[in-house]
Amino acid sequence: MNTLYYQAPGYWVGDCMPFGEGDTFYIFHQRDDRDPEPLGKPFGWSLVTTKDFIHYEDHGVVIPHGGERDQDQFIYAGSVCKVDDRYHIIYTGYNRNIENEGGLSQVPMHAVSSDLYHWQKVGEPLPFLPQDGYDPSDWRDPWVTRDDEQDRYLVLLGARQPGPKTKRTGRTVCFSSPDFMNWKFEGDFWAPDLYTMHEMPDLFKMGDWWYHIVTEYSDRHGMTYRMSRSLNGPWLQPPDDGLEGSAYYAARTFALNGHRILFGWVGTKEGDQDTGNYEWGGTFVPHEIFQRPDHTLGVKPVNTLWDGFVDRKPIDDFAMQGDDGRVQRRIADHLGSPFAFEADVRFAPSTRSFGVVLEEDPETEAGYQFLCKVDENRCTFEGSPNFPWFNTMNIGLTRPVRLDADSAHHLQVVVDDTIATLYIDGVALSTRMYRSSGGSVGMFVTDGSLTLSNAWISNTVRR
């Protein structure tokens, strides 16, 4: 059971709709009871609040789902905003019975509140119905933001054109309004013909740059982003246009007090088995997004969560030499869960690979590893050893990272029950691992040498 990351007992976390005010984040989210499977029974939106991503206060269901014939039989994803002194939610009302009958199954709907805890659904229809030339069965996940330069509100939705679901016609569409009351359809906002569908669109500005994030499930099964100095484009693809691996899905962002947090979930695997496919829903995991000097986006642990690991035990600096093979060193055992590990590593030129070993059984030497391949500039999560072939389904669990010899590379690892996340130089990769040795961590290097410094480990979280 997770004790650091949030998951309500008896439920699995679905899409998160974040908001923040003062020193508090409000995490509106779906709770799936998986009866009899993911997305089986209808759900509404529940709410938890946190100030530090360690302590959470559960406020239960705040927007209940509708009945079998109501448009919002399921309350799919949406967006929370404040206009003047009133809070608004624009959400997707989905009814699978209407879909089976050929009607409009996904319709943006509206709720209002004066305090963020008590919400009233608004009966009047919104002008965000599926437009001509778009697939009415894929029209969802509204996102509200402000365009201060033109003094207007924008609502973005994920959409696609009609036709076979395999066609790469996914796009983000946009509505605009000067007053949050009178809306105009602006058409396609970003239509790259790269993905079959855009889910969970997000749009925000940091400094002079706009960033547009979408989640897709037809390429790498994850989040991708583009950047532009103007809302009119062009939308540029950075060298690394991802934010995480395929286990981390459908995240939205919110900035509060100078910190933009990414709110997503790490999915469980079928049968709680390493070889299973990832499922819809799981455990909420936050990251923090930051802007690099070249204006691309990096990902790191949330400061308050990382700082919550106390009683840090320093690890003496050491070096490993593996000129013609693999050399490994066990750093800590019997850590339990959760635990965190931090270190700076340097490797010599011609080094083939290095990485972090987790949950290795001391007798069988079976465990897991984050493998950094130097000549390929990438990091992959996999079973260690990968025997029998294959023992861990890891499609999409690879991230690009620049690996330069004789330079310091900053590693941070968080393990909470079956979830493990590696952060390396602003690149994040999360995964599930269902075998446990009681909490262990080590380092290895192959065909080269590695030095480790400034390292510590902690299995104590401030409560």
Q: Which residues of 219-247 are buried (b: 16+ CB within 10 A; e: fewer)?
A: ebbbbbbbbeeebeeebeebebbbbbbbb
What sign for the dihedral angle of Cα 293, 295, 301, 305?
positive
What lies within 8 Å, CB to CB, of 253 at 6+ separation is: 18, 202, 204, 213, 260, 261, 262, 263, 289
Residue 94 has pLDDT above 80, yes or no: yes
Average pLDDT, the chain: 97
pLDDT in tens, 165-210: 999 999 999 999 999 999 999 999 999 999 999 999 999 999 999 9
User: Percent of the chain, pLDDT > 90?
Assistant: 96
Q: What percent of the chain has pLDDT over 70?
A: 100
Residue extents of the structural domains in the chain: 12-306, 310-461
Tell me the pTM. 0.97
Helix (H) or strand (E) holding 133: none
Candidates 157, 184, 78, 174; CA nearest to 121 is 78
d(CA 186, CA 211): 19
Residue 388 confidence class, pLDDT cut points 50, 70, 90: confident
Checking if the pLDDT of 341 tops 90, the result is yes
Largest Cα separation within the chain, whole Å, is 71
- pLDDT higher than 90, residue 390: no
Q: What is the DSSP string of 138-178?
A: SEEEEEEEEEGGGTEEEEEEEE--SS-TTS---EEEEEEES
Domain 310-461 has CATH 2.60.120.560: yes
pLDDT score for 463: 86
Indicate if the pLDDT at residue 222 is higher than 90: yes
186 vs 253: CA distance, rounded Å? 23
Q: pLDDT at position 275, please? A: 96
* CATH fold for the domain made of 12-306: Tachylectin-2; Chain A (2.115.10)
pLDDT of residue 445: 98
Evaluate if residue 102 carries a pLDDT over 90.
Answer: no
pLDDT at 125 over 80: no
Confidence at 126, pLDDT banded by 50, 70, 90: confident
Which residue in 291, 276, 292, 412 sits closest to 341, CA to CA? 412
Strand partners, 367: 384
pLDDT in tens, 39-84: 999 999 999 999 999 999 999 999 999 999 999 999 999 999 999 9
- Structure tokens of 190? 């970003």
Q: What pLDDT does residue 44 have?
A: 98
Q: How distant, in Å, are the alpha carbons of 4, 41, 66, 95, 98 from that of 102?
A: 43, 20, 19, 11, 6
- Cα–Cα distances in angstroms (integers) from residue 221 to residues 197, 404, 418, in the given order: 11, 28, 20
For 233-287, the pLDDT digits (tens) are: 999 999 999 999 999 999 999 999 999 999 999 999 999 999 999 999 999 999 9
Please give the pLDDT value at position 389. 85
Pairing label, strands 278-291, 297-300: antiparallel
In the chain, the amino acid numbered 321 is Q
Q: Is the pLDDT of residue 11 over 80?
A: yes
AA letter at 9: P
Please give the full DSSP string across 396-450, using - where no structure is assigned: T-EEE----TTS-EEEEEEEETTEEEEEETTEEEEEE----SSS-EEEEEEEEEE
pLDDT at residue 440 is higher than 80? yes
